[in-house]
Amino acid sequence: MVIVNGPAWKALIAAEFGDGIMSAIDFDMVMQRISNPKGDGVQITMSGKFLPYKYYGATGNVPEYGFKEG
């Protein structure tokens, strides 16, 4: 699931927070059973710290930290 959807999730994170990643710093994952008469489901919740990319030697129009278009 992560391998297939990972690039799309990364794009959604970038659209919401700017140019960066969700790291494993203070990472938490919760897995729950969701009861359903037609067959139980699984809910997975992941949370981690957002780390903006830092651009070293930024010049011109290149931002120094994570950038989010307004």
Residue 43, beta-bridge partner list: 32
Flag whether pLDDT at 38 surpasses 70: yes
Q: What is the pLDDT of residue 65?
A: 67
CATH of region 2-52: 3.30.1160.10
Q: What is the pLDDT of residue 33?
A: 97
- pTM of this structure: 0.64
What distance in Å separates the CA atoms of residue 4 and residue 43, rounded to the nearest whole number?
17
Flag whether pLDDT at 14 surpasses 70: yes
Flag whether pLDDT at 69 surpasses 80: no
What is the mean pLDDT of the segment spanning 19-48?
94
